[in-house]
Amino acid sequence: MYKAPISQHTIQDAIAEFERSLITTNAPFDHWLMGGNNAISAQAKQAINYLKTMAV
């Protein structure tokens, strides 16, 4: 896929490409994103909040 050596840029690009390939529309997380507060567990919500605090 890449002719360039492994670098921060190629890793970020590969992850972004992978994320673009994910197509979900009916997962509990999708329902939660659309406002379904009870679509995911309290533990999942805690994990999301934790990850948000880790975002740079």
Mean pLDDT within 19-31: 89
CA distance 19 to 52: 18
Does residue 47 lie in a domain region? yes
Does residue 56 lie in a domain region? yes
Does residue 10 lie in a domain region? no
Domain count, the chain: 1
Mean pLDDT within 25-51: 94
Mean pLDDT within 3-26: 90
Q: Which amino acid is at 47?
A: A
Q: Residue 40 sits in which domain range? A: 25-56
Does residue 8 lie in a domain region? no
pLDDT at 2 over 80: no
